[in-house]
Amino acid sequence: MASKKEPQKVIANNKKAFHDYFIDETYEAGIALHGTEVKSMRMGKCSIKESFIRIENGEVFVYGMHVSPYEKGNIFNKDPLRVKKLLMHKHEINKLAGRIAEKGYTLVPLQVYFKEGKVKVEVGLARGKKLYDKRQSIARKDQRREAEREFKQKI
């Protein structure tokens, strides 16, 4: 019996990361969660707006990721802001550690989603934008929006 491919269900998106950083590469990582946290994520109760990722002792951790407590979880609920371990291959971790050692690179979570029943985190290797870079990207978006608006009016 062939299993149907279900589309990825996005739980949380980090739009601010694309505004504040240039994303050079992306990686997919699993995340170590407890049962009530998974149930809470299935309900869409997750935020990664102010979160960041660090590599410590050859392991990858995400800080500041907020998973709201599960309503029916009572004593089994964990701290919503606890540090969560990301699951990646050793060679990927070593490659990222080398890139982060370079000046100006950091790791940010871009989105959290379900893939084949498992919670995954898209990790971005990012360089910080300067203020003038942000202004340029905002101006580009405005120009594109204006062009789309004019195109709609002509039709």
77: in domain? yes
| Residue 16 covered by a domain | yes
* CATH code of the domain in which 25 resides: 2.40.280.10
For residue 61, with 0-12 CB atoms within 10 Å meaning exposed, 13-18 middle and 19 or more buried, which class applies? middle
Who's near 55: CB < 8 A, 6+ residues apart? 61, 93, 96, 97, 100, 107
Q: Is 21 buried (19+), middle (13-18) or exposed (0-12) by CB count in 10 A?
A: buried
Residue 1 pLDDT: 46
In whole numbers, what is the pLDDT of the chain averaged over residues?
81
User: Vertex 73, ends 80 and 43: CA angle to 5°?
Assistant: 70
Contact by Cβ (8 Å): 119, 11: yes
Q: Where are the alpha helices (DSSP H) in 58-121?
A: 90-101
48-52, 82-86, 89-93, 131-135: which range is least confident on average?
Answer: 131-135
| pLDDT value at residue 116 | 84
**Domain assignment of residue 76, yes or no:** yes
**Domain count within the chain:** 1
pLDDT given for residue 89 in this prediction: 92
- 88 domain residue, yes or no: yes
Q: For residue 137, is it within any domain?
A: no
pLDDT digits (tens, 9 = 90+) for 104-138: 788 889 888 888 888 888 888 888 777 767 788 88
Residue 98: domain span: 9-129
Instruction: Tell me which of 72 and 31 has the higher pLDDT.
Output: 31
Give the separation between CA 155 and CA 153, rounded to whole angstroms.
6
What span, in angstroms and rounded, lies between the C-alpha atoms of 151 and 117?
Answer: 41
What is the rounded radius of gyration, in angstroms, for the C-alpha atoms of the chain? 18
What average pLDDT does range 74-88 have in this prediction? 77
Q: What is the pTM of this model?
A: 0.72
Confidence of residue 3 (pLDDT cuts 50, 70, 90): low
In the prediction, which pLDDT does 6 show? 59
pLDDT of residue 97: 87
Of 2 and 59, more confident:
59
3-state secondary structure of 63: strand
**Block residue for tokens 């690179």:** 105
Range with top average pLDDT, 32-36, 66-70, 78-82, 93-97: 93-97
